[in-house]
Structure 1
Protein backbone atom coordinates (compact mmCIF):
# COMPACT_ATOMS: atom_id res chain seq x y z
CA UNK A 1 0.00 0.00 0.00
CA UNK A 2 1.41 3.40 -0.97
CA UNK A 3 2.16 5.56 2.08
CA UNK A 4 0.02 8.46 0.83
CA UNK A 5 -3.14 6.38 0.51
CA UNK A 6 -2.12 4.15 3.41
CA UNK A 7 -2.06 7.04 5.86
CA UNK A 8 -5.57 8.14 4.88
CA UNK A 9 -6.92 4.60 5.06
CA UNK A 10 -5.38 4.06 8.48
CA UNK A 11 -6.73 7.36 9.84
CA UNK A 12 -10.24 6.52 8.68
CA UNK A 13 -10.01 3.04 10.18
CA UNK A 14 -8.74 4.31 13.54
CA UNK A 15 -11.34 7.10 13.56
CA UNK A 16 -14.09 4.48 13.16
CA UNK A 17 -12.97 2.61 16.28
CA UNK A 18 -13.18 5.60 18.66
CA UNK A 19 -16.59 6.72 19.85
CA UNK A 20 -17.50 10.20 21.08
CA UNK A 21 -17.81 8.96 24.66
CA UNK A 22 -14.23 7.63 24.50
CA UNK A 23 -12.92 11.16 24.09
CA UNK A 24 -15.36 12.94 26.40
CA UNK A 25 -17.82 14.17 23.79
CA UNK A 26 -21.60 13.98 24.32
CA UNK A 27 -23.51 11.46 22.22
CA UNK A 28 -26.50 13.14 20.61
CA UNK A 29 -28.91 10.98 18.63
CA UNK A 30 -28.06 8.02 16.42
CA UNK A 31 -25.13 8.12 14.01
CA UNK A 32 -25.14 6.74 10.50
CA UNK A 33 -21.54 5.54 10.86
CA UNK A 34 -19.53 4.46 13.91
CA UNK A 35 -16.66 6.38 15.39
CA UNK A 36 -15.65 10.01 15.44
CA UNK A 37 -16.70 12.39 12.74
CA UNK A 38 -13.99 14.21 10.85
CA UNK A 39 -14.89 17.54 12.38
CA UNK A 40 -14.67 16.03 15.89
CA UNK A 41 -11.23 14.51 15.30
CA UNK A 42 -9.99 17.74 13.72
CA UNK A 43 -11.25 19.80 16.65
CA UNK A 44 -9.73 17.53 19.29
CA UNK A 45 -6.42 17.28 17.44
CA UNK A 46 -6.20 21.03 16.97
CA UNK A 47 -6.07 20.98 13.16
CA UNK A 48 -8.46 22.32 10.53
CA UNK A 49 -11.22 20.19 9.07
CA UNK A 50 -9.91 20.81 5.55
CA UNK A 51 -6.42 19.64 6.50
CA UNK A 52 -7.78 16.40 7.99
CA UNK A 53 -9.76 15.81 4.78
CA UNK A 54 -6.55 16.28 2.79
CA UNK A 55 -4.72 13.81 5.03
CA UNK A 56 -7.44 11.18 4.71
CA UNK A 57 -7.61 11.63 0.94
CA UNK A 58 -3.82 11.41 0.52
CA UNK A 59 -3.55 14.99 -0.79
CA UNK A 60 -1.53 16.24 2.20
CA UNK A 61 1.84 14.64 2.90
CA UNK A 62 4.46 14.93 5.60
CA UNK A 63 2.32 16.13 8.54
CA UNK A 64 4.38 17.61 11.34
CA UNK A 65 5.42 15.66 14.41
CA UNK A 66 3.04 17.77 16.49
CA UNK A 67 0.08 16.87 14.28
CA UNK A 68 0.97 13.18 14.38
CA UNK A 69 1.30 13.22 18.16
CA UNK A 70 -2.06 14.97 18.51
CA UNK A 71 -3.76 12.46 16.22
CA UNK A 72 -2.19 9.53 18.08
CA UNK A 73 -3.38 10.91 21.41
CA UNK A 74 -6.95 11.56 20.30
CA UNK A 75 -7.25 8.19 18.57
CA UNK A 76 -5.84 6.38 21.62
CA UNK A 77 -3.30 4.56 19.46
CA UNK A 78 -1.31 1.72 20.98
CA UNK A 79 2.49 1.70 20.80
CA UNK A 80 2.36 -0.47 17.69
CA UNK A 81 -0.31 1.63 15.91
CA UNK A 82 1.57 4.79 16.84
CA UNK A 83 4.65 3.48 15.06
CA UNK A 84 2.52 2.59 12.04
CA UNK A 85 1.11 6.13 11.96
CA UNK A 86 4.54 7.74 11.91
CA UNK A 87 5.91 5.38 9.29
CA UNK A 88 2.92 5.87 6.99
CA UNK A 89 3.45 9.61 7.33
CA UNK A 90 7.10 9.22 6.35
CA UNK A 91 8.22 10.53 9.72
CA UNK A 92 10.71 9.25 12.28
CA UNK A 93 9.02 7.47 15.19
CA UNK A 94 9.82 9.52 18.31
CA UNK A 95 11.29 7.64 21.26
CA UNK A 96 9.04 6.76 24.15
CA UNK A 97 9.65 8.00 27.68
CA UNK A 98 10.11 5.28 30.27
CA UNK A 99 9.92 1.52 29.85
CA UNK A 100 6.29 0.52 30.62
CA UNK A 101 5.73 -1.99 33.40
CA UNK A 102 1.94 -2.08 33.71
CA UNK A 103 0.40 -5.50 33.12
CA UNK A 104 -2.88 -5.15 31.17
CA UNK A 105 -5.97 -6.81 32.62
CA UNK A 106 -6.11 -9.32 29.76
CA UNK A 107 -2.56 -10.46 30.38
CA UNK A 108 -3.26 -10.73 34.10
CA UNK A 109 -6.32 -12.91 33.42
CA UNK A 110 -4.22 -15.19 31.24
CA UNK A 111 -1.58 -15.59 33.94
CA UNK A 112 -4.24 -16.33 36.55
CA UNK A 113 -5.61 -19.14 34.39
CA UNK A 114 -2.24 -20.71 33.54
CA UNK A 115 -1.78 -22.65 36.76
CA UNK A 116 -0.18 -25.66 35.04
CA UNK A 117 2.71 -23.73 33.51
CA UNK A 118 5.48 -21.63 35.08
CA UNK A 119 4.82 -18.22 33.52
CA UNK A 120 6.14 -14.72 34.17
CA UNK A 121 5.86 -11.28 32.57
CA UNK A 122 8.90 -9.09 31.90
CA UNK A 123 9.31 -5.52 30.69
CA UNK A 124 11.01 -4.60 27.43
CA UNK A 125 14.31 -4.53 29.34
CA UNK A 126 13.59 -7.85 31.08
CA UNK A 127 12.60 -6.76 34.58
CA UNK A 128 10.18 -9.26 36.14
CA UNK A 129 6.86 -7.54 36.89
CA UNK A 130 4.43 -10.46 37.31
CA UNK A 131 4.61 -14.24 37.79
CA UNK A 132 2.39 -17.10 38.86
CA UNK A 133 2.98 -19.29 41.95
CA UNK A 134 4.42 -22.16 39.88
CA UNK A 135 7.10 -19.85 38.47
CA UNK A 136 7.97 -18.90 42.04
CA UNK A 137 8.26 -22.56 43.02
CA UNK A 138 10.49 -23.34 40.03
CA UNK A 139 12.79 -20.32 39.93
CA UNK A 140 12.24 -18.59 43.26
CA UNK A 141 9.95 -15.60 43.67
CA UNK A 142 11.60 -12.53 42.06
CA UNK A 143 10.41 -10.26 44.89
CA UNK A 144 12.45 -12.36 47.34
CA UNK A 145 15.61 -11.22 45.55
CA UNK A 146 14.95 -7.56 46.34
CA UNK A 147 15.70 -6.45 49.88
CA UNK A 148 16.08 -2.73 49.18
CA UNK A 149 15.96 -0.07 46.46
CA UNK A 150 19.53 -0.82 45.40
CA UNK A 151 18.68 -4.47 44.68
CA UNK A 152 16.16 -3.78 41.92
CA UNK A 153 18.56 -5.15 39.29
CA UNK A 154 18.14 -8.59 40.89
CA UNK A 155 14.75 -8.84 39.16
CA UNK A 156 16.33 -8.34 35.74
CA UNK A 157 16.79 -11.56 33.76
CA UNK A 158 19.73 -10.27 31.70
CA UNK A 159 21.50 -8.93 34.78
CA UNK A 160 20.93 -12.23 36.55
CA UNK A 161 22.50 -14.14 33.66
CA UNK A 162 25.55 -12.00 33.00
CA UNK A 163 26.39 -10.39 36.33
CA UNK A 164 24.65 -11.76 39.40
CA UNK A 165 25.45 -14.88 41.36
CA UNK A 166 22.58 -17.24 42.12
CA UNK A 167 21.49 -16.60 45.75
CA UNK A 168 21.08 -19.49 48.15
CA UNK A 169 17.71 -21.21 47.84
CA UNK A 170 17.10 -19.90 44.31
CA UNK A 171 17.23 -22.10 41.20
CA UNK A 172 20.14 -21.77 38.84
CA UNK A 173 19.97 -22.34 35.07
CA UNK A 174 22.26 -24.51 32.97
CA UNK A 175 22.50 -24.51 29.16
CA UNK A 176 24.88 -26.27 26.84
CA UNK A 177 27.34 -24.14 24.90
CA UNK A 178 25.17 -23.77 21.79
CA UNK A 179 22.02 -22.86 23.74
CA UNK A 180 23.92 -20.45 25.97
CA UNK A 181 25.41 -18.62 22.98
CA UNK A 182 22.03 -18.35 21.25
CA UNK A 183 20.30 -17.16 24.44
CA UNK A 184 22.92 -14.51 25.19
CA UNK A 185 22.98 -13.12 21.66
CA UNK A 186 19.17 -12.99 21.55
CA UNK A 187 18.85 -11.20 24.89
CA UNK A 188 21.54 -8.62 24.14
CA UNK A 189 19.96 -7.92 20.76
CA UNK A 190 16.54 -7.45 22.35
CA UNK A 191 17.96 -5.14 25.02
CA UNK A 192 19.52 -3.00 22.32
CA UNK A 193 16.12 -2.65 20.63
CA UNK A 194 14.62 -1.56 23.94
CA UNK A 195 17.42 0.96 24.48
CA UNK A 196 16.67 2.44 21.06
CA UNK A 197 12.98 2.79 21.97
CA UNK A 198 13.63 4.35 25.39
CA UNK A 199 16.79 6.45 25.08
CA UNK A 200 15.62 8.86 27.80
CA UNK A 201 15.02 6.21 30.46
CA UNK A 202 17.91 6.57 32.90
CA UNK A 203 17.32 3.10 34.36
CA UNK A 204 17.98 1.54 30.95
CA UNK A 205 21.25 3.43 30.60
CA UNK A 206 22.33 2.40 34.10
CA UNK A 207 21.45 -1.23 33.40
CA UNK A 208 23.53 -1.31 30.23
CA UNK A 209 26.46 0.52 31.84
CA UNK A 210 26.47 -2.01 34.65
CA UNK A 211 26.24 -4.97 32.29
CA UNK A 212 29.16 -3.76 30.17
CA UNK A 213 31.42 -4.54 33.10
CA UNK A 214 30.79 -8.21 32.23
CA UNK A 215 33.23 -9.13 29.42
CA UNK A 216 30.82 -11.47 27.62
CA UNK A 217 28.01 -8.90 27.56
CA UNK A 218 30.40 -6.16 26.42
CA UNK A 219 31.62 -8.38 23.59
CA UNK A 220 28.08 -9.08 22.39
CA UNK A 221 26.98 -5.47 22.82
CA UNK A 222 29.74 -4.36 20.47
CA UNK A 223 28.46 -6.64 17.69
CA UNK A 224 25.26 -4.66 16.98
CA UNK A 225 23.42 -7.86 16.08
CA UNK A 226 19.71 -7.89 15.28
CA UNK A 227 18.16 -11.23 16.23
CA UNK A 228 14.50 -12.20 16.73
CA UNK A 229 13.16 -13.52 20.01
CA UNK A 230 12.91 -17.29 19.97
CA UNK A 231 12.35 -20.21 22.29
CA UNK A 232 15.16 -21.87 24.20
CA UNK A 233 16.03 -25.10 25.99
CA UNK A 234 17.48 -25.11 29.49
CA UNK A 235 18.04 -27.16 32.61
CA UNK A 236 17.01 -25.59 35.91
CA UNK A 237 18.92 -26.68 38.99
CA UNK A 238 16.29 -26.57 41.70
CA UNK A 239 17.61 -26.42 45.30
CA UNK A 240 15.34 -29.30 46.39
CA UNK A 241 14.44 -31.32 43.28
CA UNK A 242 17.69 -31.07 41.35
CA UNK A 243 17.82 -30.78 37.57
CA UNK A 244 14.60 -30.03 35.65
CA UNK A 245 14.88 -29.67 31.87
CA UNK A 246 12.29 -27.49 30.12
CA UNK A 247 11.58 -25.76 26.85
CA UNK A 248 10.97 -22.00 27.04
CA UNK A 249 8.69 -19.95 24.79
CA UNK A 250 8.50 -16.14 24.66
CA UNK A 251 5.42 -14.19 23.61
CA UNK A 252 5.62 -10.47 22.90
CA UNK A 253 2.72 -8.24 24.01
CA UNK A 254 3.36 -5.46 21.52
CA UNK A 255 0.77 -2.91 22.63
CA UNK A 256 2.12 -3.03 26.21
CA UNK A 257 5.76 -3.71 25.25
CA UNK A 258 6.00 -6.73 27.55
CA UNK A 259 7.35 -10.28 27.28
CA UNK A 260 5.50 -13.36 28.53
CA UNK A 261 7.84 -16.25 29.29
CA UNK A 262 6.48 -19.80 29.63
CA UNK A 263 8.30 -23.03 30.46
CA UNK A 264 7.18 -26.53 29.47
CA UNK A 265 8.38 -29.99 30.48
CA UNK A 266 7.90 -32.88 28.05
CA UNK A 267 4.84 -34.88 29.24
CA UNK A 268 5.56 -38.28 30.72
CA UNK A 269 9.13 -37.46 31.68
CA UNK A 270 10.80 -37.20 35.06
CA UNK A 271 10.98 -33.46 34.45
CA UNK A 272 7.19 -33.27 34.09
CA UNK A 273 6.81 -35.20 37.34
CA UNK A 274 8.97 -32.64 39.12
CA UNK A 275 6.86 -29.79 37.71
CA UNK A 276 3.78 -31.62 39.01
CA UNK A 277 5.40 -31.81 42.45
CA UNK A 278 6.08 -28.07 42.38
CA UNK A 279 2.48 -27.45 41.34
CA UNK A 280 1.31 -29.33 44.40
CA UNK A 281 3.64 -27.24 46.56
CA UNK A 282 2.23 -24.06 45.05
CA UNK A 283 -1.34 -25.26 45.69
CA UNK A 284 -0.49 -26.16 49.27
CA UNK A 285 1.12 -22.77 49.85
CA UNK A 286 -1.97 -21.07 48.43
CA UNK A 287 -4.25 -22.99 50.77
Structure 2
Protein backbone atom coordinates (compact mmCIF):
# COMPACT_ATOMS: atom_id res chain seq x y z
CA UNK A 1 0.00 0.00 0.00
CA UNK A 2 1.30 3.45 -0.90
CA UNK A 3 2.15 5.86 1.88
CA UNK A 4 2.46 9.58 2.32
CA UNK A 5 4.37 11.55 4.94
CA UNK A 6 2.90 14.84 6.15
CA UNK A 7 3.80 16.87 9.20
CA UNK A 8 6.17 14.11 10.25
CA UNK A 9 3.44 11.45 10.19
CA UNK A 10 3.18 8.58 7.72
CA UNK A 11 -0.26 7.54 6.51
CA UNK A 12 -1.29 4.69 4.21
CA UNK A 13 -3.20 5.92 1.14
CA UNK A 14 -6.45 4.22 0.35
CA UNK A 15 -7.89 4.00 -3.13
CA UNK A 16 -8.75 7.53 -4.21
CA UNK A 17 -11.33 6.39 -6.70
CA UNK A 18 -9.43 7.71 -9.73
CA UNK A 19 -10.75 5.80 -12.72
CA UNK A 20 -7.19 5.09 -13.89
CA UNK A 21 -6.26 3.58 -10.54
CA UNK A 22 -3.98 6.48 -9.69
CA UNK A 23 -3.79 7.98 -6.22
CA UNK A 24 -4.46 11.69 -6.14
CA UNK A 25 -5.42 14.35 -3.63
CA UNK A 26 -5.15 14.22 0.12
CA UNK A 27 -5.38 10.84 1.87
CA UNK A 28 -8.35 9.88 3.99
CA UNK A 29 -6.64 10.30 7.42
CA UNK A 30 -5.92 13.98 6.75
CA UNK A 31 -9.41 14.63 5.44
CA UNK A 32 -11.12 12.91 8.34
CA UNK A 33 -9.05 14.72 10.93
CA UNK A 34 -9.98 18.00 9.30
CA UNK A 35 -13.67 17.06 9.25
CA UNK A 36 -13.49 16.16 12.93
CA UNK A 37 -11.64 19.34 13.88
CA UNK A 38 -14.18 21.70 12.31
CA UNK A 39 -17.18 20.43 14.29
CA UNK A 40 -18.01 22.09 17.59
CA UNK A 41 -19.15 19.51 20.17
CA UNK A 42 -21.22 22.19 21.89
CA UNK A 43 -23.44 22.26 18.81
CA UNK A 44 -24.28 18.56 19.13
CA UNK A 45 -26.88 17.83 21.83
CA UNK A 46 -26.17 14.11 21.54
CA UNK A 47 -22.72 14.53 23.09
CA UNK A 48 -22.22 14.78 26.85
CA UNK A 49 -20.87 18.23 27.66
CA UNK A 50 -17.82 18.34 29.91
CA UNK A 51 -15.47 21.07 31.05
CA UNK A 52 -12.81 19.81 28.64
CA UNK A 53 -15.01 20.61 25.63
CA UNK A 54 -13.36 22.65 22.88
CA UNK A 55 -13.84 23.00 19.17
CA UNK A 56 -13.35 19.70 17.41
CA UNK A 57 -14.58 16.15 17.95
CA UNK A 58 -12.46 13.33 19.30
CA UNK A 59 -12.34 9.90 17.70
CA UNK A 60 -14.40 8.69 20.66
CA UNK A 61 -17.03 11.35 19.90
CA UNK A 62 -17.42 10.30 16.27
CA UNK A 63 -17.54 6.63 17.18
CA UNK A 64 -20.28 7.38 19.73
CA UNK A 65 -22.35 9.41 17.26
CA UNK A 66 -21.94 6.81 14.52
CA UNK A 67 -22.78 3.91 16.81
CA UNK A 68 -19.52 2.04 16.13
CA UNK A 69 -16.59 0.99 18.26
CA UNK A 70 -13.71 3.39 18.76
CA UNK A 71 -11.41 0.70 17.37
CA UNK A 72 -13.43 0.50 14.13
CA UNK A 73 -13.52 4.26 13.69
CA UNK A 74 -9.81 4.64 14.44
CA UNK A 75 -9.08 1.96 11.86
CA UNK A 76 -11.07 3.86 9.24
CA UNK A 77 -9.53 7.22 10.05
CA UNK A 78 -6.01 5.79 10.06
CA UNK A 79 -6.51 4.56 6.50
CA UNK A 80 -6.60 0.82 7.16
CA UNK A 81 -8.11 -0.84 4.09
CA UNK A 82 -11.19 -2.97 4.83
CA UNK A 83 -14.55 -3.87 3.35
CA UNK A 84 -16.46 -1.03 5.02
CA UNK A 85 -20.22 -1.26 4.53
CA UNK A 86 -22.29 1.57 3.08
CA UNK A 87 -24.36 1.71 6.26
CA UNK A 88 -21.31 2.28 8.45
CA UNK A 89 -19.81 4.86 6.10
CA UNK A 90 -23.13 6.71 6.08
CA UNK A 91 -23.20 6.74 9.88
CA UNK A 92 -19.78 8.37 9.93
CA UNK A 93 -20.83 10.85 7.23
CA UNK A 94 -23.83 11.82 9.35
CA UNK A 95 -21.75 12.13 12.53
CA UNK A 96 -19.24 14.38 10.76
CA UNK A 97 -22.02 16.37 9.05
CA UNK A 98 -20.46 15.81 5.63
CA UNK A 99 -21.81 17.47 2.52
CA UNK A 100 -22.83 15.22 -0.41
CA UNK A 101 -19.47 15.90 -2.07
CA UNK A 102 -17.58 15.07 1.12
CA UNK A 103 -19.62 11.91 1.62
CA UNK A 104 -18.71 10.84 -1.91
CA UNK A 105 -15.06 11.56 -1.16
CA UNK A 106 -15.25 9.45 2.00
CA UNK A 107 -16.53 6.53 -0.07
CA UNK A 108 -13.89 7.00 -2.78
CA UNK A 109 -11.05 7.09 -0.28
CA UNK A 110 -12.36 4.29 1.95
CA UNK A 111 -13.67 1.71 -0.53
CA UNK A 112 -12.57 3.03 -3.92
CA UNK A 113 -16.02 3.78 -5.31
CA UNK A 114 -18.65 6.50 -4.99
CA UNK A 115 -21.77 5.84 -2.92
CA UNK A 116 -24.69 4.28 -4.71
CA UNK A 117 -27.03 7.11 -5.68
CA UNK A 118 -30.19 6.94 -3.67
CA UNK A 119 -33.56 8.46 -4.20
CA UNK A 120 -36.80 8.38 -2.25
CA UNK A 121 -38.22 6.65 -5.33
CA UNK A 122 -35.69 3.84 -5.46
CA UNK A 123 -38.29 1.23 -4.51
CA UNK A 124 -40.82 2.53 -7.03
CA UNK A 125 -38.70 3.64 -9.94
CA UNK A 126 -41.68 3.67 -12.28
CA UNK A 127 -43.39 6.24 -10.09
CA UNK A 128 -42.61 9.87 -10.75
CA UNK A 129 -44.29 13.22 -11.01
CA UNK A 130 -44.33 16.06 -13.46
CA UNK A 131 -42.35 18.76 -11.64
CA UNK A 132 -43.77 21.61 -13.72
CA UNK A 133 -47.34 20.43 -13.12
CA UNK A 134 -46.64 20.01 -9.41
CA UNK A 135 -45.25 23.54 -9.16
CA UNK A 136 -48.25 24.90 -11.06
CA UNK A 137 -50.56 23.15 -8.63
CA UNK A 138 -48.95 24.57 -5.49
CA UNK A 139 -48.71 28.03 -7.09
CA UNK A 140 -52.45 27.93 -7.77
CA UNK A 141 -53.17 27.46 -4.07
CA UNK A 142 -52.19 31.08 -3.37
CA UNK A 143 -52.66 32.78 -1.00
CA UNK A 144 -52.81 29.54 0.99
CA UNK A 145 -49.33 28.25 1.94
CA UNK A 146 -48.73 25.08 -0.04
CA UNK A 147 -45.77 22.75 -0.45
CA UNK A 148 -44.91 19.23 -1.55
CA UNK A 149 -42.50 16.79 0.07
CA UNK A 150 -41.05 13.53 -1.17
CA UNK A 151 -40.93 10.31 0.81
CA UNK A 152 -38.07 11.52 3.02
CA UNK A 153 -39.55 14.99 3.63
CA UNK A 154 -37.42 16.95 1.17
CA UNK A 155 -39.37 20.02 0.05
CA UNK A 156 -39.63 19.51 -3.72
CA UNK A 157 -42.10 22.32 -4.49
CA UNK A 158 -43.57 25.30 -2.64
CA UNK A 159 -45.43 28.50 -3.39
CA UNK A 160 -44.61 32.12 -2.58
CA UNK A 161 -46.73 32.31 0.57
CA UNK A 162 -45.12 29.22 2.01
CA UNK A 163 -41.71 30.75 1.37
CA UNK A 164 -42.75 33.95 3.13
CA UNK A 165 -43.90 31.98 6.14
CA UNK A 166 -40.85 29.66 6.13
CA UNK A 167 -37.89 31.29 4.30
CA UNK A 168 -35.72 28.21 4.84
CA UNK A 169 -37.94 26.25 2.42
CA UNK A 170 -36.38 28.09 -0.54
CA UNK A 171 -33.03 26.32 -0.20
CA UNK A 172 -33.72 22.67 -0.95
CA UNK A 173 -34.70 22.12 2.67
CA UNK A 174 -35.75 18.98 4.50
CA UNK A 175 -38.80 19.53 6.69
CA UNK A 176 -37.99 16.81 9.20
CA UNK A 177 -34.41 17.99 9.68
CA UNK A 178 -35.62 21.55 10.25
CA UNK A 179 -38.14 20.47 12.88
CA UNK A 180 -35.60 18.50 14.90
CA UNK A 181 -32.20 20.01 14.19
CA UNK A 182 -32.84 23.75 13.92
CA UNK A 183 -33.35 25.55 17.28
CA UNK A 184 -35.69 28.12 15.71
CA UNK A 185 -38.26 25.38 15.02
CA UNK A 186 -39.05 25.07 18.73
CA UNK A 187 -39.96 28.76 18.86
CA UNK A 188 -41.98 28.76 15.65
CA UNK A 189 -43.95 25.54 16.24
CA UNK A 190 -46.28 25.97 19.21
CA UNK A 191 -46.38 22.91 21.48
CA UNK A 192 -43.31 21.61 19.67
CA UNK A 193 -43.07 18.27 21.47
CA UNK A 194 -46.68 17.12 21.59
CA UNK A 195 -48.07 18.63 18.39
CA UNK A 196 -45.07 18.44 16.06
CA UNK A 197 -42.16 16.29 17.22
CA UNK A 198 -44.12 13.24 18.34
CA UNK A 199 -46.38 13.08 15.25
CA UNK A 200 -43.42 13.58 12.92
CA UNK A 201 -41.42 10.79 14.58
CA UNK A 202 -44.51 8.59 14.37
CA UNK A 203 -44.74 9.30 10.64
CA UNK A 204 -41.02 8.57 10.20
CA UNK A 205 -41.43 5.22 11.96
CA UNK A 206 -44.45 4.46 9.75
CA UNK A 207 -42.57 5.18 6.52
CA UNK A 208 -39.48 3.29 7.68
CA UNK A 209 -41.67 0.23 8.33
CA UNK A 210 -43.26 0.50 4.88
CA UNK A 211 -40.00 1.23 3.05
CA UNK A 212 -37.30 -0.65 5.01
CA UNK A 213 -34.81 -0.64 2.12
CA UNK A 214 -35.05 3.07 1.44
CA UNK A 215 -31.60 4.55 2.05
CA UNK A 216 -32.79 8.17 2.21
CA UNK A 217 -35.24 7.37 5.02
CA UNK A 218 -32.61 5.37 6.89
CA UNK A 219 -30.12 8.23 6.66
CA UNK A 220 -32.78 10.72 7.79
CA UNK A 221 -33.58 8.61 10.85
CA UNK A 222 -29.90 8.36 11.79
CA UNK A 223 -29.32 12.09 11.36
CA UNK A 224 -32.28 13.06 13.53
CA UNK A 225 -31.54 10.59 16.30
CA UNK A 226 -27.85 11.52 16.29
CA UNK A 227 -28.50 15.25 16.33
CA UNK A 228 -31.41 15.57 18.77
CA UNK A 229 -31.49 14.20 22.30
CA UNK A 230 -35.21 15.00 22.51
CA UNK A 231 -35.84 12.96 19.36
CA UNK A 232 -33.99 10.00 20.85
CA UNK A 233 -36.06 10.14 24.02
CA UNK A 234 -39.35 10.47 22.13
CA UNK A 235 -38.37 7.69 19.73
CA UNK A 236 -38.58 5.19 22.58
CA UNK A 237 -42.32 5.84 22.86
CA UNK A 238 -42.70 3.61 19.75
CA UNK A 239 -45.53 5.76 18.40
CA UNK A 240 -46.69 5.18 14.83
CA UNK A 241 -48.60 7.85 12.89
CA UNK A 242 -49.69 7.61 9.25
CA UNK A 243 -50.14 11.33 8.56
CA UNK A 244 -51.41 14.58 10.10
CA UNK A 245 -54.23 15.25 7.65
CA UNK A 246 -56.91 17.38 9.31
CA UNK A 247 -54.84 18.16 12.39
CA UNK A 248 -55.07 21.65 13.87
CA UNK A 249 -51.72 23.17 14.73
CA UNK A 250 -50.44 26.56 15.87
CA UNK A 251 -47.52 28.59 14.55
CA UNK A 252 -45.65 31.59 15.88
CA UNK A 253 -43.68 32.97 12.92
CA UNK A 254 -41.71 36.17 12.27
CA UNK A 255 -43.91 36.70 9.19
CA UNK A 256 -46.86 37.25 11.55
CA UNK A 257 -44.80 39.44 13.92
CA UNK A 258 -44.78 36.59 16.42
CA UNK A 259 -48.57 36.41 16.70
CA UNK A 260 -49.97 32.89 16.91
CA UNK A 261 -51.68 31.60 13.79
CA UNK A 262 -53.85 28.48 13.81
CA UNK A 263 -53.86 26.25 10.74
CA UNK A 264 -55.53 23.04 9.69
CA UNK A 265 -53.14 20.72 7.89
CA UNK A 266 -54.53 19.25 4.69
CA UNK A 267 -52.46 16.47 3.14
CA UNK A 268 -53.14 14.80 -0.20
CA UNK A 269 -51.25 12.25 -2.27
CA UNK A 270 -51.34 12.00 -6.07
CA UNK A 271 -53.07 8.85 -7.31
CA UNK A 272 -50.02 7.54 -9.17
CA UNK A 273 -47.42 7.70 -6.41
CA UNK A 274 -47.07 7.13 -2.67
CA UNK A 275 -43.74 8.95 -2.66
CA UNK A 276 -45.18 12.46 -2.76
CA UNK A 277 -47.32 14.48 -0.34
CA UNK A 278 -48.90 17.82 -1.16
CA UNK A 279 -49.62 19.86 1.96
CA UNK A 280 -51.79 22.93 2.45
CA UNK A 281 -51.94 25.09 5.58
CA UNK A 282 -55.49 26.36 5.92
CA UNK A 283 -55.81 29.26 8.35
CA UNK A 284 -58.66 28.91 10.79
CA UNK A 285 -59.93 30.57 13.92
CA UNK A 286 -57.85 29.84 17.00
CA UNK A 287 -59.95 27.41 19.04
CA UNK A 288 -58.55 28.97 22.18
CA UNK A 289 -57.33 25.73 23.67
CA UNK A 290 -54.72 23.06 23.08
CA UNK A 291 -54.18 22.07 19.47
CA UNK A 292 -56.38 19.25 18.27
CA UNK A 293 -54.85 16.15 16.79
The structure with more radius of gyration:
1
TM-score between the two structures when normalised by the length of structure 2: 0.46
Q: Could you say which structure has the higher helix fraction?
A: 1
| Structure of higher RCO (CA pairs closer than 8 Å, 6+ residues apart) | 1
